[in-house]
Structure 1
């Protein structure tokens, strides 16, 4: 039996007030939360007034293994997750080999289980190789432990394929997660189509590529009864479509990434590929709409879309560079700094978006509050002192983020999974 006592932590109480409490952890469970706990334990940790929260949950990460270990591995990705305060993550299937059959899925899952510091759930592919019209054996993959199904990185181009996959996912009661992108409207674009793409003389991706395929999918989702989840929603039109679909009783949830909440295309002042991502940064009006959608519940949760790349893949122009930015080590910190500190959102709301809603939507069983009887998956954050993000501090192999140099509050001090410390500053 191992025991840890965390002293002088601040937890979020009613009305978003902070309450100073001690937390007693025995083995993998929180056994007591109270003021001034006196107990003989193996280790005492003085939190010095740091914020304690349930471990964060990220339903959208790219850990790149197998196939692209030069970008990230399960070991480095999960270490980065722990450093960000995350204790549960869901890994995308754009790997080599793709988890589109039982053999590939089982091999990938075994590697995840052997090498992850955090709870790591694996997506399986909607269709073979993420690009064909042949729907994967969704029943067999669900039985093998697939948390949900997605072709992330690729939109499903054919309505018949999508409908067939939705019906199969509904049957096994797993979410179907869509990267919504109609290839016929992308036209080799590398950023959002609009004034900024014209100014920089870069090919633009029509935002209709997102909203038009989303509209199709919402109609199919209503017909099939599937739990349909929209990945990295980014446009005002998409927010409006999801809002309307929810009013019509469609079983739809949606996520937004921190970069679409905090940045828009006006931040791109030069041809700098660190700002290249898919979906691309949109207009200020789109950014205002996704913030409003998150605040009013149209968008259910925040997911990082952590997408590490090698330095060589992000150097130079938008043209030729890889899409994507890292985010799992900075997302809570950036959102606390830019949404909670200025009073746009409350800490309770932020934890709802980063802990509670992801668990509810994906049927995950983890701590939703720091209370006795919950699993000891938790994180401590320093919300009082400023910290400057530097390129040399990341646990991830990827440093491809435009937020390097930003000043944030909420640096992770400690992360615990099943009562074991997996990160300590």
Structure 2
């Protein structure tokens, strides 16, 4: 079977091109695209109405709360939310209860994902057992079971000897290690970024230097072990020179940031609004602008949602005690459109960071509109206005900082392997 998408505004991050054209899907893959040449015949024709057609988002760092906290998010609800947000591949985190640190647990979540989620699910596994930083996991067996990368998420491995052993073993197997660059002692218990705002609000805070110190240590470990390394979230301007030096020295290092750190700053917390409590905490406006520029130049490679569901009981607490995190599978694309409409980034820039680069880093074939690539696609209107209503979200948890905001950008349809998994009514 063939499907022709015609009258589309094609966004191809691999070539950096954007413009009108058509795209032909045969089976589960893209067969051809064209701009000036006449469109071929096809079994099914979809008129895109001049809207944007781009590779589906590959989202690194999605938390699905199975096993242990299914009341916050399941693979079914996360998959439906991802499809509604234009995310065609979820790269899931191992910070569950219990942690995904054994082949048996990994096989369980993989089976659950395949049964319930309408989008692709690629799991990560813990780097150390129980994410406790004491003993490394069975990295080889976990890779055989399907783990695409290894991370302890926000539990930073404080014991450098344990980290060195894990990185050395990962290097021997060609495994990717994803780390959370924070100095763990300085950042422990912090609810805000150090500065005037945190002092006036009386919030326990952490200096941005904690991120730079954590990244400096990790880069030194990369130099020592030669491991493939990805920093999950770079959020401070002070960390960027260290990242630039690491890349200039030829280390196999990439970095990401979250959509929240690109579109919000520390002042959004205002009067202790806990939906804005995330980890790392929101930064100063100067940091936000520096991170946007780093994404534009390619110094920061990846934008992700860092989707972290929390229930009402976890969030409706005093700010210091409230759980960190926000749901973002459905808000990632409209929030990214803020960067486009404000003139910071082009659409190819955004989809390079949200689709192409994460797919490349993980060795996946997605993220392109080239012949032979998987037909994982998102059709969206970048200009469509709406008011975000958190109760309309598909996720089980509704903890979004964008509740009540005027936003632009609606997903019209999402396709995985050429099949529609979401269509807006």
Same fold (TM over 0.5): yes
Give the superposition deviation at 1:418. Answer: 0.7
Specify the alignment match of 1:357 in structure 2.
Answer: 357
| 1:173-188 superposed matches below 5 A | 173-188=174-189
State the distance in 2 between where 1:252 and 1:40 align.
43
1:363 to 1:40, Cα distance in 2 relative to 1, 3 A: closer
Q: Name which of structure 1's ranges 324-333 and 19-28 shifts more when overlaid on structure 2.
A: 19-28
Alignment counterpart, residue 41 of structure 2, candidates 21, 39, 42: 39
Give the superposition deviation at 1:150. Answer: 0.1
State the distance in 2 between where 1:12 and 1:95 align.
35
Q: Secondary structure of 1:188's match?
A: coil
State the distance in 2 between where 1:399 and 1:40 align.
41
Task: Indicate yes or no: 2:412 matched with 1:410.
Answer: no
Q: Secondary structure of 1:150's match?
A: coil
Is the Cα–Cα contact under 8 Å of residues 181 and 209 in structure 1 kept in the other structure? yes
State the distance in 2 between where 1:407 and 1:272 align.
18
Specify the alignment match of 1:199 in structure 2.
Answer: 200
Q: Deviations over 1:270-297 (max 9, x none)?
A: 1110110110001222212212221222
Is the Cα–Cα contact under 8 Å of residues 51 and 380 in structure 2 kept in the other structure? yes
Is the Cα–Cα contact under 8 Å of residues 16 and 346 in structure 1 kept in the other structure? no
| 1:74-153 superposed matches below 5 A | 74-153=75-154
Task: Indicate yes or no: 2:379 matched with 1:377.
Answer: no
Task: Indicate yes or no: 2:6 matched with 1:7.
Answer: yes
Give the superposition deviation at 1:207. Answer: 2.8
Q: Deviations over 1:2-45 (max 9, x none)?
A: 4433332211379966433333333212234346646352x443
1:4 to 1:13, Cα distance in 2 relative to 1, 3 A: closer
Q: Secondary structure of 1:294's match?
A: helix
Give the superposition deviation at 1:393. Answer: 2.1
Is the Cα–Cα contact under 8 Å of residues 57 and 367 in structure 2 kept in the other structure? no
Specify the alignment match of 1:304 in structure 2.
Answer: 305
State the distance in 1 between where 2:325 and 2:391 align.
19
Cα root mean square deviation, aligned: 1.9
TM-score, length-scaled by structure 2: 0.94
State the distance in 2 between where 1:94 and 1:205 align.
23
Q: Which runs of 5+ in 1 are unaligned?
A: none
State the distance in 2 between where 1:101 and 1:183 align.
25
Q: Secondary structure of 1:125's match?
A: coil
Specify the alignment match of 1:397 in structure 2.
Answer: 396
State the distance in 2 between where 1:176 and 1:92 align.
12
Specify the alignment match of 1:64 in structure 2.
Answer: 65
State the distance in 1 between where 2:39 and 2:350 align.
28
State the distance in 1 between where 2:172 and 2:115 align.
30
| 1:263-274 superposed matches below 5 A | 263-274=264-275
State the distance in 1 between where 2:111 and 2:351 align.
30
Give the superposition deviation at 1:374. Answer: 2.4
1:294 to 1:367, Cα distance in 2 relative to 1, 3 A: closer
Is the Cα–Cα contact under 8 Å of residues 272 and 317 in structure 1 kept in the other structure? no
Specify the alignment match of 1:237 in structure 2.
Answer: 238
Task: Indicate yes or no: 2:390 matched with 1:388.
Answer: no
Specify the alignment match of 1:228 in structure 2.
Answer: 229
Specify the alignment match of 2:23 in structure 1.
Answer: 23
Q: Secondary structure of 1:89's match?
A: strand
Give the superposition deviation at 1:340. Answer: 1.6
Give the superposition deviation at 1:73. Answer: 0.6
Q: Secondary structure of 2:381's match?
A: strand
| Alignment: residue pair count | 421
1:282 to 1:13, Cα distance in 2 relative to 1, 3 A: closer
Q: Deviations over 1:168-226 (max 9, x none)?
A: 11111121000123332134222222211111112113333322122111001011111
1:245 to 1:19, Cα distance in 2 relative to 1, 3 A: closer
Is the Cα–Cα contact under 8 Å of residues 80 and 118 in structure 2 kept in the other structure? yes
Give the superposition deviation at 1:231. Answer: 0.8
Q: Name which of structure 1's ranges 104-113 and 168-177 shifts more when overlaid on structure 2.
A: 104-113
1:318 to 1:9, Cα distance in 2 relative to 1, 3 A: same
1:40 to 1:287, Cα distance in 2 relative to 1, 3 A: closer
Q: Name which of structure 1's ranges 264-273 and 15-24 shifts more when overlaid on structure 2.
A: 15-24
Specify the alignment match of 1:368 in structure 2.
Answer: 368
